A = this chain, B = another copy of it.
Amino acid sequence: MMSIVARPRAGIVALIGLLALSTAARSLGAQTHQSVFLSPTEAAAIRGALGKTPLLDRSFAEARAIMDSAFAHPMDVPQPGEAGGYAHERHKQNYREMEDAGLLFAITRDAKYARFIRDMLEKYAVLYPTLGPHPMAQNQAPGKLFHQSLNEANWLLATAIAYDCVYDWLKAAERARFEANIFRPMADWLSVAQAKEFDRIHNHGTWATAAVGTIGYVMGDTSYVNRALYGTKRNRTGGFLRQLDLLFSPDGYYMEGPYYVRYALMPFFQFAEAINRRQPSLGIYEYRNEILKKALYSALQTAFPNGIFPPINDASRTMAIDAPEVVLALDLAYQHYGPNENALGAAAIQNEVILNSAGLEVAQDLARRTTPPRMSWGSVEFTDGPTGENGGLGILRAGRGRDATMLLMKYGVHGGGHGHFDELHFIFFDDGREVVPDYGFARWINIEPKSGGRYLPENDTYAMQTVAHNTVVVDETSQSLAKERVADTLSGQRRFFSTTNASIQVMSASADGQYPGVSEQRTMFLIRDQRLPYPVAVDLFRVNSDREHAYDYPIHFRGQLITTNAKYSADSALQTPLGTAFGYEHIWKEATGIAPQPLRMTWLDGNRYYSLITAPGDSAQVFFGRTGAHDPNFNLISEPLLMIRAHAKQKLFASAIEPHGYFSEPEERSEQARPKLQQVRIISDNADASVIDVEGEGGLHWTVMVSNSTPSTTSHHHVVANGRAYDWTGNYAVEGVQAAH
């Protein structure tokens, strides 16, 4: 998907020569219209930089290729159709082509691009007035061209840019016709007929306000602009600014998670750029302590080392920072907030720039580099909730660039309608892969035969449920009984987060109320010991109640189970689901047994082995399972998991996950298929503190001590166990790690 090296495309230089010959008869007069995205001056600068700036050349060539292909096919503006069907895709393609055509017209001054936009808008000017609300909206706010108004806003925002680029080239009568037949009715549809959606504090609202506001600027109609900025009531109970206030935590973390902020970054930045050009006095890029900068940077900083966004909440497992929305936001942020090494590394992964002065600046800075910059965000914690007081998201990283290891824990707000019931869930990413993964959404996005490409029933019944995640499940139910209404009132709480010691990084959080009467607390370390080739994750998950519960500790994995020391009975000839509700009904029970002390399991994923070494405690059960039960339409992806079940009032699950060895099937090479860590042992566990030992080959012996009381860096802890005393000050201490250099 992503390639670091940008190469100059053959033919660029030849092309530039041709540009000079191409004239656009109607565009020779001075431009009076003030642009929202790309000014004639910027367009001229891009023209001058072509052939000398590889990434710019690449993006320019890509836009040209899209238009070459568009010119080679008949123009079509069909009657609206169903989601994912031909008409739906055609209208999407149309606005993308119009936007490209607009930018290419500005850059090349070749009138064929302007004619393309005019001719297509003429067709829309005929079609649009004949349309009523789309009949297949189902539960969404309907559009007219599309089944949902969200797509209509996508169309309008892109087309507003295209229209802006050809505004002066068009005849006044053409403009009047397009505005009367398309732009005003569509902007009214989005902001008046669908006022509720427009004022919603949600990415749908962002798209609608950005589209209506931008077309307002282009048409020179401030009533649309003000509606977009301040809401339909003009009192900031809705509108763009209110969304900037509420949709991000003070750190810029977006409540729905990175997959959704990726999508929202486009209207946020596209409209911000228009505001900045047309109403610079609003200081939109400075608004709320540069919240737009934080929004982009926090999104980039959540990305896995390969550029893919963690699939938190309803999200795809493959959406990455090279998505066009992030390219747009990154280039604009780079221009407005100044150069940044990691952002430039991200731009190198993106391998694409936008066609305005911001993209030009990024491309020029990259062109100056002799070695490509690496995206190497360090560890980071984000607060969540509008005031930053609703927990957060912790990310520990070790290593640099694409080889980095990353451990992510989720302890923020629920995330609304797209939220999953997964407080204290973690993802472990290593060697370019999501090794202990998040299932993401249950959706085959835009695949029409899979329920029109929409969310599938299994999204509610499995993907959202607690058991689909790597966090403890109580009594085979989900957190908040999987009720969004309840979950939205709750969040995790941060306990502590420390990365000052690069060899012993830690994050800790708690969750209370998700299971009434049960308090949960998880502390995760990312430990780098020079005796082990890769960083190790160490997990202390503590649950506490005054009543006995069944506590289930699931670890989802991928690849192939290689070996385990558990003695189990395999369900070889007859398989039944692991349970009956809250996602358990979707997991085939493959095997079960009494968990040994310690329990070890090694699996293979890619070219590396991974071992879980865990202290299950007395008489805990172990289950091996695989998704796919109660899935009559083959909607789920078949993936394995291991689960430990303990019945107790109070329970500490203590585990280590060690990456080790190497396997290459084509080379027929296998090295170190067994872990170096052998043992995880609970030394002491009480309301004040937990102490565990992690032991391995060659005398490796870590002692991990964690405070269970109110976080404090000065409190002293004293534990006597195992014939010795353990004393430390602060939230945690780890002994025995040989720091890697």
A positions within 8 Å CB-CB of B: 1, 84, 89, 316-320, 322-323, 444-450, 453, 560-563, 570, 572-577, 585, 588, 590-591, 602, 604, 624, 626, 628-632, 634, 637-638, 663, 665-666, 668-671, 673-674
Q: How far is the CA of A447 from the CA of B397 in the complex (A)?
A: 30
Q: Which 9 A-B pairs have the closest CB atoms?
A: A570-B632, A449-B563, A561-B634, A575-B575, A446-B670, A318-B666, A318-B665, A572-B630, A447-B670
Judging by beta carbons under 8 Å apart, are A323 and B666 in contact? yes
Given that A575-B575, A630-B572 are known contacts, is A563 also in contact with B450, CB under 8 Å in the complex? Answer: yes
User: Knowing A316-B665, A444-B560, A563-B450 touch, does A573 contact B629 (C-beta < 8 A)?
Assistant: yes
Q: Once the chains are docked, how many angstroms separate the CA of A560 from the CA of B637?
A: 7
Q: How far is the CA of A585 from the CA of B319 in the complex (A)?
A: 39
Closest to A670 in B: B446
Number of copies: 2
* Cα–Cα distance between A27 and B630 once the two chains are bound (Å): 74
Nearest B residue to A447 via CB reads B670
14 A-B residue pairs with CB within 8 Å: A1-B666, A319-B668, A447-B670, A448-B673, A448-B674, A450-B562, A450-B563, A562-B634, A570-B632, A572-B632, A575-B575, A575-B576, A590-B634, A638-B638
Please, how many angstroms separate the alpha-carbon atoms of A316 and B663 in the complex? Answer: 13
In the complex the two chains form, what is the Cα distance from A1 to B561 in whole Å? 24
Add 11 more A-B contacts to A319-B665, A445-B670, A572-B629 (CB < 8 A).
Answer: A89-B671, A318-B666, A319-B666, A445-B668, A447-B562, A448-B673, A453-B670, A574-B574, A574-B576, A575-B576, A624-B634
Assess the B572–A604 pair: CB atoms within 8 A. no
- Given the contacts A323-B666, A563-B450, A574-B574, A84 and B673 also touching, CB distance less than 8 Å: yes
Q: Which B residues are in CB contact (< 8 Å) with A585? A: 573
User: B320 contacts A668, CB within 8 Å?
Assistant: no
Flag if B572 contacts A574 (CB, 8 Å): no
> Are A320 and B666 in touch, CB under 8 angstroms?
yes
Chain B residues near A448 (CB-CB < 8 A): 670, 673-674
B634 lies within 8 A of A560 (CB): yes
CB distance from A606 to the nearest CB of B (A): 12
Q: Which of B317, B447, B563 contacts A604 (CB 8 A)?
A: B447
Once bound together, how far apart are the Cα atoms of A673 and B272, in whole Å? 37
Complexed CA–CA distance, A259 and B706 (Å) = 53
From A89, A626, A665, residue with most partner B Cβ within 10 Å? A665
Cα–Cα distance between A1 and B447 once the two chains are bound (Å): 30
Known: A572-B631, A573-B577, A665-B318. Is A670-B84 also a contact (CB below 8 A)?
A: yes
CB-defined contacts of A561 to chain B, threshold 8 Å: 634
B637 contacts A449, CB within 8 Å?
no
Residues of B within 8 A of A560 (CB): 444, 634, 637
